[in-house]
Amino acid sequence: MISFKFTKTLLLVLLPFFLFAQDTKKDITKLSYNELHDLYFNNVGNPKKQIQYTNAYMAKAIKENNNIRKAKANYQIALLYYKSDKNKAIQYLDSVIKYSKGTNDKFFPTAAYCEKGDFLKGQFKFKEAMANYNLAEKNALQTNIDYYYIVREYIGITKSENLGEYHEALDIFKECYRYYKSKDIRSSKYAGEYQSLIFGIADCYKSLMNTDSTSYYNKLGYSESKITKNEEYQYLFVLNEGANQVLKKNYRTGLDSINKALPKMIQYDNIGNVLASYYYLGIAYDGLGKKAKAAENFIRVDSIYKITKDISTEFVDGYPYLISYYKNLGDKENQLKYVTAYMIIDSTLQKNYRELNKVLYKEYDTPRLISEKENLITSLNNDKIKTYWGLGFLVLASLGMGAFALHQYRIKKQYRSRFEKIINEISSNDNREINKENATKIGTIKEEDIGIGEELVNQILEKLNRFEDQRGYLESNITIQNLSTSFETNNKYISKIVNLYKRKSFTQYINDLRIEYAINQLQENSKLRKYTVHALALEFGFNNAESFSAAFYKRTNIKPTYFIKELDSTL
């Protein structure tokens, strides 16, 4: 999907408050809110000064007990953590929401809900992101109808670009489009949003392969952007129509449009759409039978991805093309290069993971990729081997591969047995509930053995049960220290009780709860099975894919990827 939302952060809603730069030599404690606000935004890139101004802003708000000003101060602090610590930014946005609720402000807490939604979306927490967008639109509907439709558009973008829900996104874009049609769509206030919505409609139709409707809205958007002299959007519509013509197999027309738009995308440093341009150029040249030119453009797509580590799943199809292209040329080194790149993209791609597995398996399944890579490596080595020892090495390699294949067969059989055992355990009983009952009914542990009074033990066990019921273990930052604080007890007591009653260390206890929950959720929710391992790790409380995989294997003796694959083939 061609990206149509440029760098358009929600802090733009504060633009009406901007003033000209102030004299920084003034006593900042005597400055007005608007002056402090203006100084804060005039010092973007200088966090020390920004903190100085926002602290003065906050101090003034606290002194006057002005909640909406407290909210805006917290919003400024949240923006400072935008890139460095998104979790901390979310905490400050929560403070914005707390102070601005019920104030009937035109922009808060709506802007805070939206920013929070964006942060959560970046962490692959789409359900929570959508919940915050919905709160934003509910608030904006009561306080600022223009901003309500901006929020609606962001919901449409999420559904279209991240969730692949093109029909739902199209309905939202058209709803917003009808609203803006009643406004002065060529004024500076509404022109940008109106053209953005036209693009959203056109791009959704393109994703749904309704090429005639795509052309209609691309033409409309081009006309509007030309009238309002919005050059970047003008050429974005040219690019989108070029891609649409390529999909219609009008390759020469598509090439003409894309080649007109590409220099402008480079000029505006619109890297995502530079990549899109090269991708559709590759498709067009392939359609015209110009294989070398097609490969040249797919190589440019790969070069941009290597720098940015950001690629839409729509554009991954260039890799199978390059693999086949170099295979036909007999160029094993480049063939191996793009087989390897194609295999590792699942672990390096952290955006738009929703369709990644489908893309990877569309042209090649994993065993075939592994086999092709191994064959290429072997073949390249064989080309260099000219001696008797080289032939001997080949024999040993073949024996090794046979042994490896036998070993893999045995492992596969073991994994299948372990998988079936897990499924049987899920269907026969609720392990966690049984473990909780056992934990609270153990009567052989004496007070003098544990050194904690029976009443306190029972209290802590009850709190642990509530902690499990409320799924507190899904918090990624849970530690024995912060759990003991919430329990209002000593962390050594919790450690002892978990060791004796749960019969495991605190870390193992938390990880086992997460994995048991993950197993149940993966079985019940087919959408989760389309997530990357990294996304699943974040969903179930782990900080990274490695720790999630290690905990899953320790608990089940199989890897999560295998478990998901078997679930998909079984259910």
Q: What is the pLDDT of residues 190-211, one digit of tens each?
A: 999 999 999 999 999 999 999 9
How much is the pLDDT for 413? 72
The answer, yes or no, to whether residue 367 has pLDDT greater than 80, is: no
The answer, yes or no, to whether residue 119 has pLDDT greater than 90, is: no
How much is the pLDDT for 448? 55
| Cα 372–chain centre separation | 30
The whole-angstrom separation of Cα 147 and Cα 145 is: 5
How much is the pLDDT for 442? 47
* Through-space distance between the first and last CA atoms of the chain, rounded to whole angstroms: 31
- The CA-based dihedral angle spanning residues 436, 438, 442, 447, taken in that order and rounded to the nearest 10 degrees: -10
- Read off the tokens for 571: 């259910």
When pLDDT is cut at 50, 70 and 90, the band that residue 434 belongs to is very low
The answer, yes or no, to whether residue 359 has pLDDT greater than 80, is: no
Phi, psi (rounded to 5 degrees) for 51: -65, -40
How much is the pLDDT for 16? 41
The answer, yes or no, to whether residue 453 has pLDDT greater than 60, is: yes
Task: Read off the pLDDT of residues 228-274 as tens digits, 9 standing for 90 and up.
Answer: 999 999 999 999 999 999 999 999 999 999 999 999 999 999 998 99
Which residues, 6 or more positions from 408, have their beta carbon under 8 angstroms from its beta carbon?
none
When pLDDT is cut at 50, 70 and 90, the band that residue 440 belongs to is very low
How much is the pLDDT for 512? 93
Task: Say whether the peptide bond before residue 263 is cis (omega within 30 degrees of 0).
Answer: no
The answer, yes or no, to whether residue 382 has pLDDT greater than 60, is: yes
Count CB atoms within 10 A of the CB of residue 76.
23
Cα angle: 184, vertex 189, 192; to 5 degrees = 95
- For residues 69 and 56, the answer to whether their CB atoms sit within 8 Å is no
Segment 487-498 shows an average pLDDT of 90
The answer, yes or no, to whether residue 559 has pLDDT greater than 60, is: yes
The whole-angstrom separation of Cα 396 and Cα 402 is: 10
How much is the pLDDT for 369? 63
Segment 433-453 shows an average pLDDT of 56
How much is the pLDDT for 23? 44
pLDDT above 70 as % of the chain: 80
Task: Read off the pLDDT of residues 500-536 as tens digits, 9 standing for 90 and up.
Answer: 898 999 999 999 999 999 999 999 888 888 999 999 9
Chain length of the chain: 571
When pLDDT is cut at 50, 70 and 90, the band that residue 410 belongs to is confident
The whole-angstrom separation of Cα 416 and Cα 219 is: 55
Segment 459-476 shows an average pLDDT of 91
The DSSP symbol for 317 reads T
Which residue, 25, 68, 33, 26, is CA-closest to 54? 33
Q: Which residue has the higher pLDDT, 45 or 355?
A: 45
Segment 40-48 shows an average pLDDT of 91
Exposed/middle/buried for residue 406 (C-beta within 10 Å: 0-12, 13-18, 19+): exposed
The answer, yes or no, to whether residue 467 has pLDDT greater than 70, is: yes
How much is the pLDDT for 364? 57
The answer, yes or no, to whether residue 46 has pLDDT greater than 60, is: yes
- Read off the tokens for 457: 């033990």
Which residue, 266, 267, 234, 238, is CA-closest to 254? 238
The answer, yes or no, to whether residue 426 has pLDDT greater than 70, is: no
- For residues 235 and 212, the answer to whether their CB atoms sit within 8 Å is no
SS3 (DSSP) at 21 = coil
Q: Which of 7-11, 339-343, 473-477 has the highest mean pLDDT?
A: 473-477
How much is the pLDDT for 14? 42
- For residues 271 and 304, the answer to whether their CB atoms sit within 8 Å is yes
Which residue, 115, 122, 134, 70, is CA-closest to 96? 70
Average pLDDT, the chain: 83
The whole-angstrom separation of Cα 438 and Cα 186 is: 70
Task: Read off the pLDDT of residues 145-177 as tens digits, 9 standing for 90 and up.
Answer: 999 999 999 999 999 887 889 999 999 999 999
When pLDDT is cut at 50, 70 and 90, the band that residue 363 belongs to is low
Return the amino acid letter for 471.
Answer: R
Name the one residue in this structure whose structure tokens are 């460095």.
84
Q: Which residue has the higher pLDDT, 393 or 192?
A: 192
How many Å is the Cα radius of gyration of the chain? 29
Count CB atoms within 10 A of the CB of residue 2.
27
SS3 (DSSP) at 14 = helix
The whole-angstrom separation of Cα 302 and Cα 101 is: 47
Segment 386-415 shows an average pLDDT of 64
